[in-house]
Structure 1
Amino acid sequence: MTQNDTQSSVFKVTGDHLNRLLKSGDRHKYDYGHAIVVSGPPGQSGAARLAARGALRIGAGVVSVFCSEACKGENAARLDAIMVKTYREAQGFIDQLSTLKPSAICIGPNLGLDPENRQRLIDIVSLGVPLCLDADAITLVAQDPRPISAAMHPQVVMTPHEGELRRLIPKAFSQTTCRITLAQTAAQTLNCTVLFKGSDTIIARPNGDCTVVSSKPFAHAAWLATAGSGDVLSGMITGLLAKGFDAFDAAALGAHLHLHCAETIGPGLIAEDIPEALPAVLTRCLEMKNNLV
């Protein structure tokens, strides 16, 4: 089976998307949602900070990094507008997270693959809060998808690259090479929106709806192949979820804006640059309205 065997639409930014990116003077920060990024262990929390900056720059009203007490110092030393919220290992993780009233959660960047994190992931998915699963969270799902898939809901976005997707749906890879079909199969199997990373990023819903965000119009897209770039994308998606975008639109719009950031920065891009490019990208988007590439 080839890429052409399954039809999909090319993603287009609409006026509605752009209007919802705006902020209004008669609203306050909590109207734009509280995005929470779950941090990895000490010494591995940088990925969570990158995701958090992506969420804040995309327009979430409040962003927190949720970490163990042992990570508090390293996160607090590197963050200002982003809050650092801690949990105590001896107390209920999910109860402590719930008290923060998250509008959307990102979990996975450098999370770690300990059994405790697997249970935390199951508990977070079970909350029913809009959610972006990336990196180690995807690996944890792949180890045994059944308990997590049972708790999946329409507002979950999963962001695998090819190796991660292969671990999630290995049988499908033996039956087709069509990336669109693979993304659709994963979305249907896992009952969530799947963003399949690649030069053509495929976003699929469980019902089979599918759109493509292509890097081809962007001369500098290849510079996104750098450590931490995917963490920023996950944070951007989480910020859009916190603002009220549905999972499918948050994934597609996040991927599209991610490419525009790469084009703005150009050669030499590193992950830390991407959130800082968003003000210029968003300004151009909002000025151009429906004429965005």
Structure 2
Amino acid sequence: MLDSPSFKRGDNSPALWSGQLNWPQPDGNKYDRGHAVVLGGPVAATGAARLSARTALRGGAGLVSIACDPSALMVYAVACEAVMTKPLRDADAFAALIADPRVTGVLMGPAAGVNDRTRALVLAALEAGKACVLDADALSVFEGGPDALFGAITAPTILTPHEGEFARLFGAITDREADAVVAAQKSGAVMVLKGRDTVIAAPDGRVVINKNASEWLATAGSGDVLAGLCVSLLAQGMPAFEAACAATWMHAEAAYLFGPGLIAEDLPDQLPRVWQGLSLGHNGFNVHG
């Protein structure tokens, strides 16, 4: 494993990445803060993408859109307010949507379905050279042929697997930290190996352990929120490794701020308090863990 002048192998904290946050400027506009596109799931499974998209807005992205099959449009349109909806049928339509240079980050995977459509849309986004976050089904769909995924990664990309999804692409885990670094190097993407102590690893060998997680994060939808935070910060222009580190820490801090009884829907609305603390400077903010 390698060290860099800015990062050493160790614990995650705002000291590592707070200088890379994209704070709004008095003369700025929403596009200065990025446009994130979230791939929506089918009509019976819209909750995950809606969680991710709401989080992406709370995470600071200036504009967030959900791209969905027309059959699910009504559900998303009724449930979403500031999040825009973009109906599309196939990979060609998806590629046309994200070809807009103002689209600066794409999230795919939460409840997208393990099917040929998901696979085609993931490859379309990667081949377009867009900064991407791949989670859940966008990873599982490449089980048995991960080289097709790795070979398409050329732009900043973050993978956010839990241990089961990780094993489908990289094999069984024997040492979380070492295996995450090897996986990052093999894939060419930043690896966020989720767990009680989440491991964030870069292809160049940098590795950070996030230790401020709350046990209340072990709840359905928590990973969708984390993926939404990752794409939000990536869309705002943060480098992929720093975006992954920041998202993981902010996700965990939001859980601590809410406390017992947390469900995933509670997390996005805690992010303003996280941002307020960060605005005071990380030395004055309470880091748990």
Separation in 2 of the partners of 1:138 and 1:264? 31
Structure 1 residue identity aligned to 2:194: K
Aligned to 2:159: 158
Q: Is the 8 A contact 2:17 2:245 kept in 1?
A: no
Where do residues 180-191 of structure 1 align in structure 2 (5 Å cutoff)? 180-191=177-188
Q: Is the 8 A contact 1:233 1:254 kept in 2?
A: yes
Q: Cα–Cα, structure 1 residues 100 and 84, in superposed 2: closer, same or farther, change >3 Å?
A: farther
Structure 2 residue identity aligned to 1:20: L
The Cα of 1:287 is off from its aligned counterpart by 1.5
The Cα of 1:288 is off from its aligned counterpart by 3.7
Structure 2 residue identity aligned to 1:51: S
Q: Cα–Cα, structure 1 residues 129 and 90, in superposed 2: closer, same or farther, change >3 Å?
A: closer
Structure 1 residue ranges (4+ consecutive) displaced by more than 6 angstroms after TM superposition: none
Is 2:257 the counterpart of 1:256?
no
Separation in 1 of the partners of 2:141 and 2:68? 19
Is 2:198 the counterpart of 1:205?
no
Q: Find the residue that maps to 1:150 and give its secondary structure.
A: helix
Separation in 2 of the partners of 1:20 and 1:121? 27
Is 2:115 the counterpart of 1:125?
no
Aligned to 2:142: 141
Is 2:188 the counterpart of 1:194?
no
Structure 2 residue identity aligned to 1:45: T
Aligned to 2:77: 76
Q: Is the 8 A contact 2:91 2:120 kept in 1?
A: no
Separation in 2 of the partners of 1:148 and 1:85? 25
Where do residues 89-128 of structure 1 align in structure 2 (5 Å cutoff)? 89=90, 92-99=93-100, 101-128=102-129
Q: Cα–Cα, structure 1 residues 58 and 204, in superposed 2: closer, same or farther, change >3 Å?
A: same
Structure 2 residue identity aligned to 1:253: A
Separation in 2 of the partners of 1:212 and 1:21? 23
Aligned to 2:223: 230
Q: Find the residue that maps to 2:280 and give its secondary structure.
A: helix
Is 2:176 the counterpart of 1:179?
yes
The Cα of 1:18 is off from its aligned counterpart by 5.1
Is 2:62 the counterpart of 1:61?
yes
Work out which of the residue numbers 270, 275, 280 in structure 1 matches 2:273: 280
Work out which of the residue numbers 233, 242, 246 in structure 1 matches 2:235: 242
Q: CA RMSD in A?
A: 1.9
Separation in 2 of the partners of 1:165 and 1:52? 23
Structure 2 residue identity aligned to 1:117: T
Aligned to 2:23: 22
The Cα of 1:98 is off from its aligned counterpart by 2.3
Normalization by structure 2: what TM-score? Answer: 0.91
Q: Find the residue that maps to 2:191 and give its secondary structure.
A: strand
Structure 2 residue identity aligned to 1:188: Q
Q: Cα–Cα, structure 1 residues 280 and 51, in superposed 2: closer, same or farther, change >3 Å?
A: same
The Cα of 1:89 is off from its aligned counterpart by 4.3
Question: Residues 218-272 of structure 1: CA distance to partner in whole angstroms, max 9, x if unpaired?
Answer: 5xx1111111110011001100001100110111100000011000111111111
Q: Find the residue that maps to 2:148 and give its secondary structure.
A: helix
Separation in 2 of the partners of 1:157 and 1:15? 18
The Cα of 1:69 is off from its aligned counterpart by 1.0
The Cα of 1:88 is off from its aligned counterpart by 3.4
Separation in 2 of the partners of 1:136 and 1:70? 19
Q: Find the residue that maps to 2:209 and give its secondary structure.
A: strand
Identity across aligned pairs (percent)? 37
Normalization by structure 1: what TM-score? Answer: 0.90
Aligned to 1:290: 283
Q: Cα–Cα, structure 1 residues 96 and 184, in superposed 2: closer, same or farther, change >3 Å?
A: same
Structure 1 residue identity aligned to 2:61: A
The count of corresponding residues between Structure 1 and Structure 2 is 279
Gaps of 5+ in 1: 1-6
The Cα of 1:290 is off from its aligned counterpart by 3.3
Q: Is the 8 A contact 1:18 1:286 kept in 2?
A: no
Aligned to 2:32: 31
Q: Is the 8 A contact 1:36 1:105 kept in 2?
A: yes
